[in-house]
């Protein structure tokens, strides 16, 4: 799509880690997708913390900084809004963005539960605006290639799979009690944070889920409360002498899921897995083969394909131009794309949706489907056993 040259006025709400990643993606859109003919204008950033919004202005050149996100949404110069605030604000902000007639690029998991994601989906549909959700592991060229190979029968009929997101960001017991650990502020714990991606990746590769059973656990039940003005220790660690508050959501989830096509999927996600750093990936077994992607080696797949069954070799397959959007970033195979690149790919889909009026995934229906699976995991873990979706 080329279209006429035009500008899009951009607002970013929540200038933390992902707000910065979204702003970087807007800044790089033309580097990789000049053919879209769109020049983003950094109109405004909103953050309740002055230092955070000032840093975003200094770094990305936003023309205006707001302390109240409502002012940003009311700004007539803004056509598209990145919502990268904490989960508890997704519903209210997402609904308000759509109701103001602005296009919405919102981070996963879209609220605290499926009802929140549904409310945002309804608002986007009612307003006739575009909505894109931050399920960026779909945007990895190797994921796109893996999905294609599975669909093309390279491993026969898919039978069973494993999806994992294991990491250690919450493994230190002195990690402070941020919004992520509260039910009202963060909603689900590792479910919303990591399992939301795992469910989406599973659906992207293997189709919709029919049901699941899950168990969850909290391994670090309390953490130091971050005192106003208090010093933090090392990498976001709290004062060992500070009072402690309760962790209200799960550190770990293990689930068995079944797709409508009958594929059994083992899911395991942890935010407290000592020794694991972003050990994310998916492995799919089929009647004649195996295919695997690991986040830590993003530009390659492991593929076993053929007709020899036992002792069938597994090859290392480097993905290159032709796999997903790889060619937009690198000219050859084995030059991997990055985490930030996935957000540029996601943004390009969002912008194409705005230009054409036809939505590209991941959309809000995907956030609702993921959130319904997460809610089902909570019910299952609380004693409901197998939950049909
Ligand atoms: N797609 C991914 O890979 C990915 C990765 C990390 C986080 N996320 C999602 O991004 C979102 C933000 O996560 P993060 O890691 O950037 O968190 P963060 O804590 O680094 O940033 C959140 C920002 O929102 C600001 N904020 C809080 N209340 C606000 C308010 N009322 N108005 C405006 N700003 C407010 C905070 O001051 C902070 O700067 C979450 O929903 C999270 O699930 C997605």
CATH number at residue 11: 3.40.50.720
pLDDT at residue 45, as a whole number: 98
- How far is ligand 1, taken at its centre, from the CA of residue 107, in Å? 8
My answer on whether 128 and 172 are in the same domain is: no
Read off the pLDDT of each residue in 359-363 and give the average, rounded to a whole number: 95
Q: Has residue 355 been placed in a domain? A: no
Segment among 25-34, 228-237, 370-379 with least mean pLDDT: 228-237
For residue 236, report the distance from its CA to the centre of ligand 1, in Å.
Answer: 16
Ligand 1 center from residue 303 Cα (angstroms): 36
**Same domain for 173 and 131:** no
The reported pLDDT for the residue numbered 4 is: 62
Position 339 in a domain: no
pLDDT value of residue 242: 87
Pair 181, 123 in one domain: no
pLDDT average, residue stretch 306-319:
98
Dist CA 11 CA 26 (whole Å): 10
Beta bridge partners, 254, equal 215, 268
Q: 46: CA distance to ligand 1 center in Å?
A: 12
Give the whole-number percent of the chain exceeding pLDDT 90: 92
213 shares a domain with 328: yes
157 in the same domain as 14:
no
Give residues with Cβ within 8 angstroms of 153, minimum separation 6: none
Distance of CA 71 to the CA centre of its chain: 26
- pLDDT, mean of residues 14-30: 98
Examine the domain organization and report whether 141 and 122 are in the same domain.
no
Tell me, yes or no, whether 202 and 78 share the same domain.
no
The pLDDT-based confidence of 235 (bands split at 50, 70, 90) is low
Last residue of a domain, one of 117, 135, 153: 135
pLDDT at 212: 98
pLDDT above 70 (res 230):
no
Indicate whether 317 and 179 sit together in one domain: yes
| Residue 185 pLDDT level (bands cut at 50, 70, 90) | confident
Burial of 383 (0-12, 13-18, 19+ CB in 10 A): exposed
Say yes or no to pLDDT of 2 above 80: no
- Does 65 have pLDDT greater than 90? yes
Helical segments of 128-244, H only = 141-151, 183-186, 190, 196-206
Range of the domain at 370: 137-333+361-388
Tell me, yes or no, whether 217 lies in a domain.
yes
Q: Is residue 160 domain-shared with residue 182, that is, in the same domain? A: yes
What is the mean predicted confidence (pLDDT) over 182-202? Answer: 95
Is 167 found in the same domain as 70? no
Pocket test residue of 11, 12, 13, 18 for ligand 1, highest count of atoms within 8 A of CB: 18
> Which of these ranges, 4-8, 62-66, 119-123, 336-340, has the smallest mean pLDDT?
4-8
Q: How far is the CA of 364 from the centre of ligand 1 (A)?
A: 18
User: Does residue 224 sit within a domain?
Assistant: yes
Distance CA 333, CA 199 (A): 28
Give yes or no: residues 105 and 145 share one domain: no
pLDDT band at 282 (very low <50, low <70, confident <90, very high): very high
Task: Output the residue whose Cα is nearest ligand 1's atom 39.
Answer: 16
Determine, yes or no, domain membership for 100: yes
Residue 271, classified by CB atoms within 10 Å of its CB into exposed (0-12), middle (13-18) or buried (19+), is buried
Q: Which residues contact 151 (CB under 8 A, 6 or more apart)?
A: none
3-state helix, strand, coil in the chain (%, to 5): 35, 25, 40
> 1 pLDDT exceeds 80?
no
The pLDDT of 211-215, averaged and rounded, is: 98
pLDDT of 3 higher than 70? no
Percent of the chain past pLDDT 70, that is, above it, reads: 97
CA distance 273 to 121: 33
Is 344 part of any domain? no
Residue 352 inside a domain? The answer is no
Q: Among residues 114, 135, 156, which one ends one of the domains?
A: 135
| CA gyration radius, the chain | 21
Question: Residue 13: how many CA atoms within 13 Å on its side-chain side?
Answer: 28
Q: Where are the alpha helices (DSSP H) in the chain?
A: 17-33, 50-60, 69-74, 90-99, 114-127, 141-151, 183-186, 190, 196-206, 339-356, 364-379
Distance 16 CA to ligand 1 centre (A): 5
Mean pLDDT, rounded, for 204-208: 98
Confidence of residue 240 (pLDDT cuts 50, 70, 90): confident
Question: Atom 7 in ligand 1: which residue has the minimum CA distance?
Answer: 18
Give the three-class secondary structure for 30.
helix
The closest residue, in CA terms, to atom 2 on ligand 1 is 134
Residues with CB under 6 Å of ligand 1 are 13-19, 46-49, 52, 69, 84-87, 89, 107-108, 134, 136, 193
Report the alpha-carbon distance of residue 72 to residue 35 in Å, rounded.
29
Question: How would residue 214 be classed by pLDDT, with cut points 50, 70 and 90?
Answer: very high
Mean pLDDT of 354-374: 97
Mean pLDDT of 30-56: 98
Task: Report the alpha-carbon distance of residue 339 to residue 141 in Å, rounded.
Answer: 11
* Ligand 1 atom nearest 20 alpha carbon: 16
- The yes-or-no verdict on residue 58 having pLDDT over 90 is yes
**35/60 same-domain check:** yes
Q: Which long-range contacts (CB under 8 A, 24 or more apart) does 381-385 make?
A: 381/214, 381/215, 381/216, 381/250, 381/253, 385/213
Longest dimension (CA), the chain: 64
Tell me if 174 sits within 8 A of 237, measured CB to CB: yes
340 lies in some domain: no
| Centroid of ligand 1 to alpha carbon of 108 (angstroms) | 10
pLDDT at 233 over 70: no
| CATH of residue 281 | 3.30.360.10
Residue 16 has pLDDT above 80, yes or no: yes
Residue 229 has pLDDT above 90, yes or no: no
Q: Read off the pLDDT of each residue in 57-67 and give the average, rounded to a whole number.
A: 98
Q: What is the number of structural domains in the chain?
A: 2
Distance set, CA 51 to CA 27, 65, 73, 335 (Å): 21, 11, 21, 37
Mark which of 135, 151, 182 sits at the end of a domain.
135
């Amino acid at each position: 799509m080329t279209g006429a040259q035009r500008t899009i006025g951009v607002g970013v709400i929540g200038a933390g880690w992902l707000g910065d990643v979204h702003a970087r993606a807007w800044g790089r859109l033309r580097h990789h997708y000049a053919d879209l003919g769109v020049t983003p204008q950094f109109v405004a950033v909103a953050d309740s913390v002055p230092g955070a919004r000032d840093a975003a202005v200094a770094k990305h050149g936003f023309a205006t900084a707001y302390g109240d996100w409502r002012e940003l949404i009311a700004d007539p110069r803004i056509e598209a809004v990145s919502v990268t605030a904490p989960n508890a604000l997704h519903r209210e902000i997402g609904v308000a963005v759509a109701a103001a007639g602005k296009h919405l690029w919102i981070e996963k998991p879209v609220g605290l539960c499926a009802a929140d994601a549904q409310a945002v989906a309804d608002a986007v549909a009612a307003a006739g605006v575009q909505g894109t959700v931050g399920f960026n592991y779909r945007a990895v060229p190797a994921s796109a290639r893996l999905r294609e190979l599975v669909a093309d029968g390279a491993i026969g009929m898919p039978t069973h799979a494993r999806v994992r997101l294991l990491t250690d960001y919450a493994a230190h017991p002195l990690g402070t009690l941020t919004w992520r650990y509260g039910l009202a502020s963060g909603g689900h714990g590792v479910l919303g944070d990591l399992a939301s991606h795992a469910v989406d990746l599973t659906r992207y590769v293997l189709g919709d889920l029919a049901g699941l059973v899950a168990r969850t656990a909290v391994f670090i039940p309390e953490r130091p409360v971050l005192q106003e003005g208090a010093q933090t220790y090392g990498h976001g660690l709290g004062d060992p002498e500070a009072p402690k508050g309760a962790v209200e959501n799960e550190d770990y989830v293990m689930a068995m899921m079944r797709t409508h096509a009958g594929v059994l999927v083992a899911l395991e996600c942890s935010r407290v897995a000592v020794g694991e750093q972003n050990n994310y990936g998916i492995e799919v077994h089929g009647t004649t083969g195996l295919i695997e992607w690991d986040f830590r080696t993003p530009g390659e797949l492991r593929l076993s394909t053929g007709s020899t069954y036992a002792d069938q070799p597994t090859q290392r397959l480097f993905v290159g131009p032709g796999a997903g959007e790889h060619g937009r970033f690198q000219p050859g195979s084995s030059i991997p794309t990055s985490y930030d690149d996935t957000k540029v790919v996601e943004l390009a889909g969002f912008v194409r949706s705005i230009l054409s009026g036809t939505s590209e995934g991941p959309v809000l229906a995907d956030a609702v489907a993921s959130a319904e699976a997460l809610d089902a995991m909570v019910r299952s873990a609380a004693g409901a056993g197998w939950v049909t979706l």
